[in-house]
Amino acid sequence: MSTSDNSIQSKPSPFDLIYRDERIVAVNKTAPVPTSGRTNRTRRSTGRGPAGTEVEHANRARRPVGDAAATELSNLSLVEAVAAQLGQVYPVHRLDTPVTGVIVFACTRRFAAELSSDFRKQRVRKAYWALVSGVPALPEGMAEGYLRHDRRANKACLCDSTHDQARYAAIHYRTLLTLDRYTLLEVRPVTGRTHQIRALLASRDLPIRGDVKYGARRPNPDRMIGLHARSITFPERRGLSTHSLVAPCPHESLWQVIASRVHELT
């Protein structure tokens, strides 16, 4: 892409580059844009399908995206924005629109299929940082339950295991830091259900900061929520030159204080 393309450069990019080689591109998602599919303003689709797990969505969305049209980056989905700046990429997993953090794209169709298989079979390890209101009853433990997806509200709802749409969901959490108003948790998904971290923490009276859909009192000014995809680790057998990728905390002042405090503890 030419650096003189002012229509592309007129607004900040929704991502920061973390890592790039001939097989993958990893970025830090910094803005409230969808990973793929249609944005509210462009209505340009890179593939949408019925809601499901992270991997199910990625499988439906896995199409090549080349040079984007001359449209402001803020109007594009993340995959479109990455393609506009870095060239054709293939989604292999996703992050919710208001979530920040590390997300990986494959550079070839073949490697996209291989990575999608790794995500589907839970060979890829992911860690999130969640900034929640309240303090968990135990500093470390499991949160689990059965969820159904309300398509109309685009929301995961707790339900009985006998519900015909019930899907088991589980996460492991541990407390990293306790602040005056919030608690920082490290969360590692056990399953891959839509909105599972947000719904399961809310069910424990631990709503994520700014996540009004799941019980937070007020939204954040930047429309993001306090959920950050902190790291992702690939199986070594994939032969990548790096196996673990870490996304720096968001630039917001509170997150920077948290990053400093956590660094002091390590």
pLDDT of residue 74: 59
Burial 52-74 (b: 16+ CB within 10 A, else e): bbbbbbbbbbbeebeebeebbbb
Residue 14 lies in a domain: yes
Q: Which domain holds residue 212?
A: 6-265
Count up the domains in the chain and report the number. 1
pLDDT of residue 11: 55
pLDDT of residue 65: 43
Average pLDDT over residues 9-38: 86
Cα torsion 168, 57, 201, 156 to 10°: value is -70
Residue 195 lies in a domain: yes
Tokens read off for 81:
């924005």
Find the CATH number of the domain harbouring 84: 3.30.2350.10
Q: How confident is the model at residue 120 (pLDDT cuts 50, 70, 90)?
A: confident
0.75 exceeded by the pTM? yes
Residue 93 lies in a domain: yes
Answer whether residue 158 shows pLDDT above 50. Answer: yes
Residue 90 lies in a domain: yes
Q: How confident is the model at residue 237 (pLDDT cuts 50, 70, 90)?
A: low
When comparing pLDDT for 3 and 140, which is higher?
Answer: 140
Distance CA 69, CA 8 (A): 9
Nearby residues of 244 by Cβ (< 8 Å), 6 or more positions away: 231, 232, 233, 234
pLDDT of residue 58: 39
Q: How confident is the model at residue 12 (pLDDT cuts 50, 70, 90)?
A: confident
Answer whether residue 213 shows pLDDT above 90. Answer: yes
Answer whether residue 147 shows pLDDT above 70. Answer: yes
Answer whether residue 260 shows pLDDT above 50. Answer: yes
27-54 pLDDT, tens per residue? 999 999 999 875 444 443 333 333 333 3
When comparing pLDDT for 44 and 203, which is higher?
Answer: 203
As a residue count, the chain comes to 266
Residue 32: Cβ-neighbour burial (10 angstroms; 0-12, 13-18, 19+): middle
Residue 1 lies in a domain: no
**CA end-to-end distance (rounded Å), the chain:** 41
Distance CA 1, CA 126 (A): 32
